[in-house]
A and B are shown apart, each in its own frame.
Chain A
Amino acid sequence: MSAEIAEPASKIELPAGVGGGGEIPTFDVTLRVRRYNPEISEEATWDDYKLTMYGTDRVLDALHKVKWEIDGSVSFRRSCAHGVCGSDAMRINGRNRLACKTLLKDLDTSKPITVEPIKGLPVEKDLIVDMEPFFQSFREVMPFLINKGHEPTKERLQSAEDRERFDDTTKCILCAACTSSCPVFWTDGQYFGPAAIVNAHRFIFDSRDDAGDMRLEILNDKEGVWRCRTTFNCSEACPRGIQVTQAIAEVKQAILSRKI
């Protein structure tokens, strides 16, 4: 028997000079980041960073490159970096997006890419905002199952149709992209905001939940659903594609039909 032939690295003959990350096109971008550090100055400024990035890179990769290789003082939140945790919502070219889901190649790379903190919440440093007012509104709509009956010994069953009723609003990751894109919230921080209403919707229309009336009463407030002007900024901003404005309209209708 002949000696065993070593398995080749690739079954296709590749010309020399091609391989690895080389075949992914690279391009130069200017990342324009909104900088704010209250320990240095109360004024926020723009900092430009020139970067060479790959076609597969996202805005988050550009921010990482800045933070890891150029300027370690740039501050932003991110956790999973894959569109699940909802930490890295920011205003990219004037639109609320998750930095980890926005590919650089989909943006206009001929102009600087602006990255700002989301609007309407107090900025703590650079791209980090104080999320506490946002979570306070979220807590106030009681985003948890309330069931008055006896606790069952097994799973609470629900038909597929009943589950479908609120399926869209279960997708929320609490990134605050919707609430901080809402022009009403920008001027009126007391407005509950789209995200709180979406999470109320998720339980109001859940057949297993018994506290829908309480949540509708909470949102029938002067800072509740009637503050919504249906500008659709929230639906446009949602990285999970939730039809936020429609969910708010459904809550409005539920309050109306309960009162009349």
Chain B
Amino acid sequence: MTATQIQSPRSGKDGNGRPGAGLIAPKYRRSGASKGNFEMAAWLFMRLSGVVLVVLIFGHLFVNLLVGEGIHAIDFGFVAGKWADPFWQFWDLAMLWLAMLHGTNGVRTIINDYAEKDSTRFWLKIVLYAATAVIIILGTLVIFTFNPCPLDVNGIPLPGGFCPAA
């Protein structure tokens, strides 16, 4: 006569009925406590940058589209004029950095929420961070090195019609 096999009655318990014996599926097991306050900082940044961005973006829209001739005044010269002023350089720089980081963090949380495999999550984030870095660096360079009257290799202004010929 063979002994009747009695299964452990509840999952999550070992044969002696002790709970927490590691029978919880890996999907639910937290891999150790995370250190630092990064998630808290990210959460706080989203709220603060959101408030600042509301001011920056609506200020930007108001000045560009409503003041004076409004939308009809926007051309290369208008942008060149704005970026000659350190105030607007700073304004646009703040808008660029805050909007990019705010958006990147938002997409990061979406990836965290929706990517089911660790490898998918990893690669999506790599793509996201690379795109963010390129746009932030390029945008910052444009704001600070913008020259409305570029010269060609011979020192002659490039054609464009915005700058008086030297």
Q: Which residues of A contact B (CB under 8 A)?
A: 122, 124, 130, 132-133, 135-136, 139, 183-184, 187-190, 218, 220-224, 226-227, 229, 252, 255-256, 259
Given contacts A132-B11, A189-B25, 8 further A-B contacts (CB under 8 A): A124-B11, A130-B11, A132-B10, A136-B24, A190-B30, A220-B37, A222-B34, A256-B40
For A139, the chain B residues whose CB sits under 8 A away are 20
- B28: chain A residues within 8 A (beta carbon): 133, 136, 189-190
**Shortest beta-carbon distance, B39 to chain A, in Å?**
4
Beta-carbon contact of A220 and B40 below 8 Å:
yes
Chain A neighbourhood of B34, CB < 8 A: 221-223
Residues of B within 8 Å of A223, CB to CB, are: 30, 34
Q: Is B29 in contact with chain A by the CB < 8 A criterion?
A: yes
Most-contacted residue by chain A among B20, B24, B34 (CB, 10 A): B24
Could you tell me if B33 and A221 are in contact, using CB atoms closer than 8 angstroms? yes
CA distance A183 to B113 in the complex (A): 9
For the complex, is B42 an interface residue (Cβ under 8 Å from A)? yes
Residues of chain B with a CB closer than 8 A to A226's CB: 39-40, 42-43
- Please pick, from A136, A190, A218, A224, the residue contacting B12 in the complex, using a CB distance under 8 A: A136
Q: How far is the CB of B98 from chain A (nearest CB, A)?
A: 20
In the complex, A16 Cα to B12 Cα: how many Å? Answer: 58
Q: Specify the chain B residue showing the minimal Cβ separation from A186.
A: B113
Pairs A-B, 4 closest by C-beta atoms: A132-B12, A133-B28, A226-B39, A189-B28
Determine the residue in chain A with the shortest Cβ distance to B26: A189
B25 close to A133 (CB less than 8 A): yes
Distance, CA A189 to CA B30, complexed state (A): 9
- CB pair B114 A187 closer than 8 Å: yes
Report the separation of the CA atoms of residues A133 and B43 in the bound assembly, to the nearest whole angstrom: 26
Residues of A within 8 A of B31 (CB): 190
Question: In the complex the two chains form, what is the Cα distance from A255 to B43 in whole Å?
Answer: 12
| B112–A188 touching, CB < 8 Å | yes
A253 to chain B, nearest CB (A): 11
> Cβ of A222 and Cβ of B20 under 8 Å apart?
no
Closest to A224 in B: B39
* A130 CB contact (under 8 Å) in B12, B19, B38, B109: B12
Within the complex, the shortest CB–CB distance from B35 to chain A, in Å, comes to: 9
Chain A residues closer than 8 Å to B44, beta-carbon distance? 256
